[in-house]
Amino acid sequence: MPELPDLIYVVGKLREGLLGRHVSAERVKEPVVLRFAVRGNLSLLLGRSLAEIFRKSHFVVFRFEGLDLAVNPMLAGRFRLSAPGDKDEGTLAFALGFGDVELRYLDDKVMGKAYLIATDDWKAVPGMQTGGVDLLSSEFTRERFVSLLRHRRDQVRVFLLDKKALDSLGNAYADEVLFEAGIHPKTFCRSLSHDDAVRLHDAIVKVMTEAVGEVARREEPIDVKVRDFLKVRRKEICPRCGTKIRTAGVRGMDAYFCPRCQPTTRAGFVDWTRTGK
């Protein structure tokens, strides 16, 4: 799943390549990824100009005159800018032509969804969870974070992934920020001290800001996910202390952590296997 740093990079590149252009062609190879909350199909976009491209929750939204195309790439969806004559990828789901450039949406797993809706008709888009505070905005203060955390009864990693609270962290960066803050992924929110919460907030800002910078610096094509700089996610050895990285199941998701840098023996840790939750 693309995460915030990936989405920021992709949206920037798509804006550079496509803003202000008119849709000249459309092709659909995998109709199952498309959903229409308006009467018609992708040909409704023909002749319309692309006025804006932005991120909303974990969707990339293409704003045309009167219509929004909101794409949720899910696990494997990717965008690519190609020349219209380039050979089709086997994973091509649909494409929109903009004169001499073609926007392609590729999806190995065909799990992503693209919703064509009337402008701002977000209620027609399942899974568009909004309301979370943007982690890279000035609204994401220590005070705001601490007050969000204070009301939670779940494990800290579950809270970090809640897009209605925080916009947004996925599995990879949830692991990175917990590592940065030295907090075990199964710690309950209510057992974090004020200092823990502040340290976690600062870790989120640091990790996400650095990741946005690193992804931009690499300048890879937009369909390449840059993740090799992560410290614990899918790594073998802790870069800080050399201990073997472990995994733990948190709500059915694998969390990666260093048992030494993120010990379960912290004062706040509650062993959920013994509490029956």
48/240 with CB nearer Zn ion: 240
Q: Rounded to whole angstroms, how far apart are CA atoms 99 and 128?
A: 31
CB of 94 or CB of 179, closer to Zn ion: 179
**240 Rama sector, left if φ>0, alpha if ψ -120 to 50, beta otherwise:** alpha
Q: How far is the CB of 262 from Zn ion (least distance, A)?
A: 8
- Least Å distance, CB 255 to Zn ion, is 15
Structure tokens at 146: 């601490």
Task: Rank residues 127 and 239 by Cβ distance to Zn ion and give the closer one.
Answer: 239
If the CB atoms of residues 156 and 258 are measured against Zn ion, the closer one turns out to be 258
Binding positions for Zn ion, rule: CB under 5 A = 238, 240-241, 243, 258, 260-261
CB of 232 to Zn ion, least distance (A): 8
| CA angle in degrees (0–180, nearest 5) for 58-64-68 | 40
151: phi > 0 → left, psi -120 to 50 → alpha, else beta; which? alpha
Find the shortest distance in angstroms from Cβ 212 to Zn ion: 25
182 Rama class: left (phi>0) / alpha (psi -120 to 50) / beta: left
Residue nearest to Zn ion (CB): 238
- In the complex with Zn ion, the residue whose CB is nearer, 67 or 261, is 261
Instruction: Specify the 3-state DSSP secondary structure of 116.
Output: strand
Q: Least Å distance between CB 185 and Zn ion?
A: 14
Listed in sequence order, the residues at least 6 apart from 201 whose beta carbon sits closer than 8 Å to its beta carbon are 140, 142, 145, 146
CB 64 within 8 A of CB 49: yes
